[in-house]
Amino acid sequence: MIAARYKDHMSQLQTNYESALLSVFDEQPPDGVLLYSGSEQHYYADDRGIAFQANGHFLHWIDVNRPGQMLCIRPGHKPVYYQVVPDDYWYEQDIVSDPAWSDCFEVVRLTSETALIEQIAGNYVFLGNNRALAEALGVPDALSNPQALLACLDYQRAYKTDYELDQLRVANRLALIGHSAARECFLAGGSEYDIHMAYLTTCGILEDETPYTNIVALNEKAAILHYQNKRRQHQGGNRVLLIDAGYRVRGYGSDITRTSVSKDIHPVFDALLAGMESIKDKLVATVRPGLSYVDLHLTALAEIAELLTHVAICRGTASELLEREIVHRFMPHGVGHLLGIQVHDVAGYQQNLRGDILAPPAHSPMLRHTRQCAESMVFTIEPGCYFIPLLLETERQSDRSGTYNWDLIEQLYPLGGIRIEDNVCVTADGAENLTSAT
């Protein structure tokens, strides 16, 4: 099953690359595309390597997250994988072939970059971060990461093949097992570090193997959107856990957030959490081909504004909270982003193969996705509601101060905030929730 799906995936990529080359280089198309995985990087004045992450377009073809690898994609030919495995006794260098892709490439095994340069001759586009290598391969500046070609390839990454969807479904299912363990650890009184380790241990992964650094925030830290620490000390009396954590399968990462609360949580926060979960479900049910993702974001803001008035955190009407941009103080990020090989996948603002951009609206500059929903597109839906002093306290001196229920907000500051995030695929007539469907 997986081998057949992978071959279909490869066929679609081959078609995409061939059409992109003809579109961008209509008069004299190059012989093909060289996809470089990337070079190993080191910390300044140190010989310690930085955790490597291969070029997304390279990983789109083959799940080998190793530096120094090269793919040669030529119209009408089987892709060639130049597998560079240095002779080395300091580090493990072997690359294990995945049965899913081993028959799809002509594999040429080499031991050095010099040998790689000797193997390749022709007029190629080079995609990757090593300009010196591109020059050594005879690639002129105009064919090194040409933006017109990247625009075509980036744009198409939003549309997933059946193979890709299979990997994302598994990535969601396995991440949810870790999320369940994290919640149990939280309810048992675990620290942020304990909860983080419970997630990793249950998933059976190392931290570097996650698609992004886990966010594990207790109480007031849940108001820090990309909270990066893992407090080891036990806080005592924990009321809220916000955990944002995913799982990677064959290069494809899930991105799931859950908010859990203790039994003695503040009743308004409890009502707010139930409301946010309902909003997330409503947003997923709204998704369909042709829907503008900007409109989906505006719907999220309207629903959150309605909820804020319902639980008496704000006074007035939902339309007033929207018009005066008060609700934006409670949800300062976008409602989601494209998802795939990269967690925040490429071309979220791109409107066509030419690379035309639609910027996010001025009131929501952090929205990462402005495209229209289309079948097989995958993105996150992650409404949030936070009590961030940095954004709210300045409102006390504004002419909008009377809109806020400051006594209640002060009671909720120690609880941080809420985010609920699922991964969604657009279908022919609606959406498949890859997270809840697993």
Q: Distance from CA of residue 320 to its chain's centroid?
A: 33
Rounded CA Rg of the chain: 24
Task: Note the pLDDT of residue 383.
Answer: 98
What are the backbone angles phi and psi of residue 254, rounded to the nearest 5°? -85, 165
Average pLDDT rounded to a whole number, residues 130-155: 97
Q: Is 392 helix (H, G, I), strand (E, B) or coil?
A: helix
HEC readout, 395-434: HHHCCCHHHECHHHHHHHHHHCEEECEEEEEECCCCEEEC
Q: What is the pLDDT of residue 438?
A: 52
CATH number of 162-433: 3.90.230.10
Residue 94 CB coordination number (10 Å): 5
Q: Where are the domains of the chain?
A: 2-156, 162-433
Q: What is the pLDDT of residue 26?
A: 82
**pLDDT digits over 313-333, tens only?**
999 999 999 999 999 999 999
Return d(Cα 425, Cα 203) in angstroms, integer.
24
pLDDT at 413 over 70: yes
Q: Across all residues in the chain, what is the average pLDDT? A: 96
- Whether 2-156 shares its CATH topology with 162-433 is answered no
Pick the CATH number of 2-156 from 3.40.630.10, 2.30.250.10, 3.30.1280.10, 3.40.350.10: 3.40.350.10
What tens digit of pLDDT does each residue of 34-89 get? 999 999 999 999 999 999 999 999 999 999 999 999 999 999 999 999 999 999 99
> What is the reported pTM?
0.96
Neighbours of 184 (CB within 10 A): 14
Lowest mean pLDDT among 163-167, 236-240, 349-353: 236-240
Beta bridge partners of 258: 243
Question: Pairing relation of β-strands 252-253 and 248-249?
Answer: antiparallel
Q: Which residue has the higher pLDDT, 103 or 161?
A: 161
| Crossing angle of helices 2-24 and 162-187, rounded to 10° | 120
Q: Which helix (H) or strand (E) holds 124?
A: strand 124-127
